[in-house]
Structure 1
């Protein structure tokens, strides 16, 4: 309210938000969880807003076989909003590379950079050494069907790290705030939601999920997010990811 008792006009609307998301979907910079070049592993959605600004970040962690090895493992940040310095969507500066070899061995096979090196026992994730599990039953018990009898592919290995290392996959607060205003409050965070199938021409403005999220951003009221559709952002629901 201003001094005359009139309500200030909202700086943006849910319609504005959905229009931007649709444009990014049209330009292929909205997340496609079945991207043919990327095996999906983990994803996260975070929403930020105040009366004048909004921002939405969708993180997609996966393995791009064209990169190979550690260069193929990344968290790709898709960033939207009316207060960001970059073009909405994603660009090369929004890829976070979070793994590396430990001091003992190369983590992956040196010829193709697509499967675990059977000799290695550890890898660096977020500057910390973690153990590498070569036990095939470990992966099978997690519902990960191994494609080959004599190797464990990188995407299978990464999926085996879920959910124990989910937080390490995700962007840090500093990495987020390097890309959006430091003073804009977070209003919502999701690790499960129903995501549109952009490869099948589904767009955010037709998605119940993103219509509700846009309303939350517009109003600041999280009760507008009332999902009625089953979450589908888990990698098992996108079997075409990485299969081109």
Structure 2
């Protein structure tokens, strides 16, 4: 016998979802892709639901120069829902640290830890060693304008890993399920979408993407996600990120 009756009333609404997202935006715990302290690198959105529970997870991979070096390279998980153990939004426990020095050398300059060490040949990403690309043409061909003639900054280097290393940058299912119910089905996944300009006080409830996603979560019908705006979640659309 099915645990849930087909006639059972939905236990949450799109309006409730948007209200929570707006509250987090007002508390500065909703993703601000042009955060002046963080250079955006990559982002991903995942939606989970059943008749009683919903979760929206937004991953923002970026570089914080206040953290510096490997401590500044993080995937910050923003988790919203009615069935999560933490307060909606994000907190210190939701930062995933992704990179480290390889045994042979320091990846970044020792003094400021914000540019590649010219002598570094390899780095650890998720514990696996891979070769560092110092070829400036490689970055330019990806549309990454290098700010200095003789340096490659950490955020420029990390943007060079996209999209080839996206899966390594994103949270694993284990990391996600440590934070949300293990049996909650995923209904949607996006790696690009139209994101609100939170720095200019735009709220999720006034943004087409999140209006539609709230309806998808409420109904379980992905057809309600039918965007008319071009995606803007790529780092190129947020030049003020990291500019402070």
Q: Which runs of 5+ in 1 are unaligned?
A: none
Q: Which residue of 2 aligns with 1:83?
A: 83
Q: Aligned-pair distance for 1:8?
A: 1.6
SS of equivalent to 1:210 = helix
Q: Which residue of 1 aligns with 2:224?
A: 224
1:39 pairs with 2:39: yes
Superimposed CA distance per residue, residues 208-244 of structure 1 (whole angstroms, 9 cap, x where no aligned partner): 1000000000000000000100000000000000010
Query: Per the alignment, do residues 6 and 136 of structure 1 end up closer, same or farther by CA in structure 2, a change over 3 Å counting?
Result: closer
Q: Which residue of 2 aligns with 1:242?
A: 242
Root-mean-square deviation (CA, aligned residues, Å) is: 1.1
Q: Aligned-pair distance for 1:182?
A: 0.1
Q: Which residue of 2 aligns with 1:146?
A: 146
1:182 pairs with 2:201: no
TM-score by length of 1: 0.97
SS of equivalent to 1:56 = strand
Task: Return structure 1 stretches of 4+ with deviation > 3 angstroms.
Answer: none
SS of equivalent to 2:117 = coil
Q: d(CA) in 1 for partners of 2:130 and 2:56?
A: 31
SS of equivalent to 2:62 = strand
SS of equivalent to 1:63 = strand
Q: d(CA) in 2 for partners of 1:196 and 1:176?
A: 24
Q: Which runs of 5+ in 2 are unaligned?
A: none
Q: Aligned-pair distance for 1:96?
A: 0.0
Matches within 5 A, 1:1-244: 7-244=7-244
SS of equivalent to 1:47 = strand
Q: d(CA) in 1 for partners of 2:110 and 2:237?
A: 31
Q: Aligned-pair distance for 1:7?
A: 2.5
Q: d(CA) in 2 for partners of 1:40 and 1:84?
A: 26
TM-score by length of 2: 0.97
Q: Aligned-pair distance for 1:6?
A: 8.3
* Number of aligned positions between the proteins: 241
Superimposed CA distance per residue, residues 155-199 of structure 1 (whole angstroms, 9 cap, x where no aligned partner): 000000111001100000000000000000000000010000000
Q: d(CA) in 2 for partners of 1:6 and 1:119?
A: 63
